[in-house]
């Protein structure tokens, strides 16, 4: 019994963690260098000044579009999440108020322009019967007036931001019942806030229509389970989670201001869109759907309203070059399919008079809508085709990334600029999609791991002092990309070398300041921050994901469990246990053999231990809210068979907290 109790919460939670959020407060700094980021150097000032000559910054059409139809804005748009542990900031638009006027030396002027556009927030009238709430989250919430009520499209990431947004809409538009919800795709920023606009009980009682693309629930609940811990840690770099909102810190994501760290929920669809051309009448309005899987999301769709001549494009097109590969980590997206879907939309919805996206501002006018879709189509296809063109000649990913440049006709269009995705890392994504990680050079087939290689590089280059000296010369010359590569070797060879870490952090600062891509900027500046202050002690927090977890199939967690098996501890061991869920009627047999964990539906008569529990207590274990010491003697959990074998079984699994090193070994 004592052995069982000592397993505590971690033994169960270690394998079941779904990581979609972290709840630390966003750091807000009053001083530009409060986190230690160094001033822009002469080389950075010169690089950023040159951007002003490359683009037509006198073009104010995007600003006119972003402000068009403003009904009201909330100047105090700060949203909190309150739990038993206290309050945390979910969303804070006033923290971006410094983004005005000319770009500071520490920000690429093109990215500064994008950040200014994404600062424009409030409730907007897009056209008669269509309204948008922008700036309440990284994504938009769209309201369509039906015959009797509201149709809500993409209710944001978090319950808290969605509730604030819908309350603001009701304040200015009046109160109407919600008659339908449309989820355009399976990314959490387009469904996670649904319980902020309607409760699950209200949805059941009113028989609310919930419409989503085929595969939505599987993709929405599974993307972050197997690889979620790693994705979340990497997303802290991509979105600048721990960076202050200052001219030397986080200013934007390129797609919106930032991510909302709040309570995430979901509703299961009542109707699925399975094919392009499928039509539905929703509260008296006719909609024609386009199914676009494997574009920006594995399950995604767009739709068109012939009555309003409005094309709701989800993330098929945005006011930025989107990601074919997202830096947080995900399956590579299909550039050719994405381009083909845009071509299909151009044909199917050629009379659209307004384009309404899941992020950023609409575009009005048939010709301008067509132009946006055409340039996005051609941008993706150019990157796809030219990557393969160079690969056919033997170019490798890094070479292709350096070679491929958009033609002037695309490069001069702001919506094709790399504020979110970039040409460089999207070409690598295309290469990976077709050829994988190996570039065919045998030297790259089985290289030394970074730490081992770093020590040899430093030794070959004459030792740490010599490397530091030469790196300083490269930094002084403004050769930051090269200096970062060299100094990274030095830090990995000697992680305690304070001067090396300081110089690398300074180098990352300059690379961040020069980046047109917001995720690149945040990645560089987060690297600099962690070199100076260390990694976060904890990343994972499950309390905000309970409603999403309720809709996640048990097998997804068992698959994640297999990925956390400690092979060295499991080698030579053979164990069988059963999980029986007494309320849902589900049961699973789990077997460790050959240092691999398998599961199958049903129980195994040869299992030496059986764990009986309810799904509710299972969810508490997932969230780290309960362990065996809390539940062993309750009616929620029973153990049959060998308790010792159960302890041995759970001792084979790793409990991650997601706080692994990135910029140090």
The 3-state DSSP class for residue 199 equals coil
pLDDT tens readout for residues 193-216: 999 999 999 999 999 999 999 999
Residue 55 vs residues 49, 507, 518: alpha-carbon distances, Å? 11, 26, 18
Using DSSP's 3-state secondary structure scheme, residue 621 falls into: helix
394 shares a domain with 303: yes
Tell me, yes or no, whether 45 lies in a domain.
no
10 with 115, same domain: the answer is: no
Residue 271 near residue 187, CB atoms below 8 Å: no
Lowest mean pLDDT among 95-109, 501-515, 553-567: 553-567
- HEC string of 213-234 equals ECCHHHHHHHHHHHCHHHHHHH
What element of type H or E holds 409? helix 408-411
Degrees (nearest 5) of the Cα angle 508, 384, 214?
A: 100
pLDDT at 16 over 60: no
The two beta strands, 209-213 and 271-273, are parallel
How far is Cα of residue 366 from the mean position of the Cα atoms in its chain? 32
496, pLDDT greater than 50: yes
Of the pLDDT bands very low, low, confident and very high (cuts 50, 70, 90), residue 341 is: very high
Q: What is the DSSP letter of 256?
A: S
Better-scored residue on pLDDT, 540 or 323: 323
Model confidence, pTM? 0.93
State the average pLDDT for the chain: 92
CATH of the domain at 579: 3.30.1050.10
How far is Cα 589 from Cα 558, in angstroms, rounded to an integer? 10
Task: Decide: 414 and 62 in contact? Cβ < 8 Å.
Answer: yes
Chain segment 371-427, per-residue pLDDT in tens: 999 999 999 999 999 999 999 999 999 999 999 999 999 999 999 999 999 999 999
- Is 172 found in the same domain as 271? yes
Between residues 308 and 28, which one has the greater pLDDT?
308
Lowest mean pLDDT among 215-224, 507-516, 525-534: 215-224
Task: Answer whether residue 95 shows pLDDT above 70.
Answer: yes
Assess if residue 494 is contained within a domain: no
Q: What is the CATH number of the domain that holds 116?
A: 3.60.15.30
The answer to whether residue 333 sits within a structural domain is: yes
Please state the three-class secondary structure of 117-170 as a single string. Answer: HHHCCEEEEEECCEEEEECCCCCCEEEEECCCCEEEECCCCCHHHHHHHHHHHH
Range of the domain at 624: 2-17+552-650
Q: Are residues 210 and 349 in the same domain?
A: yes
Tell me, yes or no, whether 280 and 421 share the same domain.
yes
211 lies in a domain?
A: yes
| CA nearest neighbour of 410 among 40, 55, 32 | 55
Could you say which of 434, 457, 486 is where a domain stops?
434
The verdict on residue 27 lying in a domain is no
Q: What is residue 542's predicted lDDT score, i.e. its pLDDT?
A: 67
Mean pLDDT value across residues 562-575: 95
What average pLDDT does this structure show over 651-663? 89
- 233 and 375 belong to one structural domain: yes
Distance of alpha carbon 170 from the chain centroid: 29
What is residue 631's predicted lDDT score, i.e. its pLDDT?
59
**Report for 371-385, 627-641, 650-664: range of highest mean pLDDT:** 371-385
pLDDT, mean of residues 346-352:
97
Q: Is residue 532 part of a domain?
A: no
Q: Which of 375-384, 555-564, 652-661 reaches the highest mean pLDDT?
A: 375-384
Residue 428 shares a structural domain with residue 576: no
Query: Is residue 1 predicted with pLDDT exceeding 60?
Result: no
Q: What is the mean pLDDT of residues 132-149?
A: 98
Q: What band does 23 get if pLDDT is binned at 50, 70 and 90? A: very low
Residue 444 or 614, more confident? 444
Residue 99 has pLDDT above 80, yes or no: yes
Predicted confidence (pLDDT) at residue 239 exceeds the cutoff of 70: yes
pLDDT of residue 627: 62
- Confidence band, pLDDT 50/70/90 cuts, at residue 19: very low
Domain boundary among 417, 434, 451: 434
Beta bridge partner(s), residue 143: 131, 152
Residue 624 pLDDT grade (very low, low, confident, very high; cuts 50, 70, 90): low
Residue 39 pLDDT greater than 60, yes or no: yes
Domain assignment of residue 287, yes or no: yes
Exposure of 200 by Cβ count < 10 A (0-12 exposed, 13-18 middle, 19+ buried)? middle
* pLDDT of 98 higher than 50: yes
Residue 654: the pLDDT is 86
Which of 289, 211, 239, 147 shows the shortest CA–CA distance to 521?
239
Q: Are residues 144 and 230 in the same domain?
A: yes
CA dist., res. 423 & res. 379, Å (int): 9
Rounded Cα distance between 81 and 90, Å, is: 6
Determine the pLDDT at residue 31: 47
Domain boundary among 398, 418, 434: 434
Say if residue 7 is in the same domain as residue 77: no
Residue 594 DSSP symbol: T
Give the model's pLDDT for residue 630: 60
Answer yes or no: is 104 within a domain: yes
Domain total of the chain: 2
> What's the CA angle centered on 424, arms 423 and 426, to 5 degrees?
65
- Hey, is 87 helix, strand or coil? strand
Residues 121 and 12 in one domain: no
Query: How many angstroms separate the CA atoms of 349 and 310, rounded?
Result: 9
In the predicted model, what is the mean pLDDT of residues 249-267?
A: 96
351 & 416 share domain:
yes
Which residues share a beta bridge with 150? 145, 178
Q: With 80 as the cut, is the pLDDT of residue 540 above it? A: no
632 pLDDT band, cuts 50/70/90, is low
Neighbours of 596 (CB within 10 A): 11
């Amino acid at each position: 019994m004592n052995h069982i109790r000592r397993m505590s919460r971690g033994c169960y939670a270690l394998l079941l963690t779904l990581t979609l959020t972290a709840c630390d407060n966003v750091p807000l700094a009053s001083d530009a260098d409060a986190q230690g980021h160094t001033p822009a150097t002469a080389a950075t000032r010169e690089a950023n000044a040159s951007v002003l000559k490359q683009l037509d910054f006198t073009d104010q059409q995007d600003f006119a579009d972003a402000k068009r139809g403003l009904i009201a804005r909330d100047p105090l748009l700060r949203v909190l999440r309150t739990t038993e542990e206290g309050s945390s900031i979910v969303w804070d638009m006033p923290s971006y108020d410094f983004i005005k006027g000319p770009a500071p030396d520490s920000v690429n002027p093109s990215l500064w322009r994008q950040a200014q556009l994404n600062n424009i927030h409030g409730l907007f009238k897009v056209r008669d019967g269509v309204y948008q709430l922008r700036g309440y989250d990284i994504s938009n919430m769209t309201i369509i007036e039906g015959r009797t009520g509201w149709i809500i499209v993409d209710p944001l990431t978090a319950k808290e931001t969605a509730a604030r947004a819908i309350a603001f809409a009701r304040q200015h538009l009046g109160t109407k019942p919600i008659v339908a919800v449309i989820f355009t795709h399976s990314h959490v920023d387009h469904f996670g806030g649904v319980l902020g606009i309607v409760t699950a009980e209200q949805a059941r009682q009113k028989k609310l229509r919930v419409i989503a693309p085929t595969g939505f629930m599987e993709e929405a609940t599974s993307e972050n389970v197997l690889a979620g811990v790693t994705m979340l840690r990497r997303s802290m770099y991509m979105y600048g989670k721990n960076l202050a909102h200052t001219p030397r810190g986080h200013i934007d994501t390129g797609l919106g201001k930032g991510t909302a760290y709040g309570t995430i929920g979901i509703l299961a669809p009542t109707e699925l869109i399975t094919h392009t051309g499928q039509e539905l009448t929703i509260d008296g309005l006719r909609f024609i759907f386009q199914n676009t899987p494997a574009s920006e999301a594995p399950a995604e769709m767009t739709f068109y309203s012939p009555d309003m001549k409005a094309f709701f494009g989800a993330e098929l097109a945005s006011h930025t070059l989107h990601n074919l590969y997202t830096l947080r980590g995900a399956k590579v997206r299909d550039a050719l399919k994405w381009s083909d879907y845009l071509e299909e939309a151009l044909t199917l919805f050629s009379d659209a008079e307004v384009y309404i996206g899941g992020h950023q501002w609409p575009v009005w006018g048939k010709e301008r809508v067509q132009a946006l879709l055409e340039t996005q189509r051609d941008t993706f296809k150019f990157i796809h085709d030219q990557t393969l063109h160079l690969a056919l000649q033997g170019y490798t990913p890094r070479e292709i990334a350096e070679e491929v440049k958009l033609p002037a006709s695309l490069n001069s269009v702001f919506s094709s600029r790399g504020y979110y995705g970039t040409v460089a890392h999207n070409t690598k994504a295309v290469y990976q999609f077709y050829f994988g990680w190996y570039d065919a050079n045998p030297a790259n087939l089985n290289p030394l791991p970074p730490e081992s290689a770093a020590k040899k590089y430093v030794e070959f280059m004459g030792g740490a002092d010599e490397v530091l000296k030469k790196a300083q010369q490269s930094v002084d010359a403004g050769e930051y990309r090269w200096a970062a590569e060299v100094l990274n070797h030095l830090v990995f060879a000697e992680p305690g070398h304070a001067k090396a870490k300081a110089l690398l952090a300074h180098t990352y600062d300059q690379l961040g300041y020069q980046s047109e891509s917001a995720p690149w900027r945040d990645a560089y500046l987060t690297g600099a921050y962690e070199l100076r202050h260390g990694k976060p002690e904890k990343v994972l927090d499950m309390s905000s994901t309970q409603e999403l977890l309720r809709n996640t199939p048990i097998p997804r967690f068992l698959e994640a469990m297999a990925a956390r098996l400690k092979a060295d501890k499991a080698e030579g061991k053979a164990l069988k246990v059963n999980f029986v869920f007494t309320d849902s009627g589900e049961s699973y047999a789990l077997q460790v053999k050959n240092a691999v964990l398998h599961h199958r539906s049903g129980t195994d008569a040869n299992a030496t231990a059986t764990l009986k529990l309810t799904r509710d207590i299972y969810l508490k274990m997932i969230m780290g809210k309960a362990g065996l010491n809390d539940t062993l003697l309750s009616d929620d959990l029973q153990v049959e068979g060998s308790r010792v074998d159960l302890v041995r079984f759970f001792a084979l699994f790793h409990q991650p907290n997601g706080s692994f090193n990135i910029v140090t070994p």
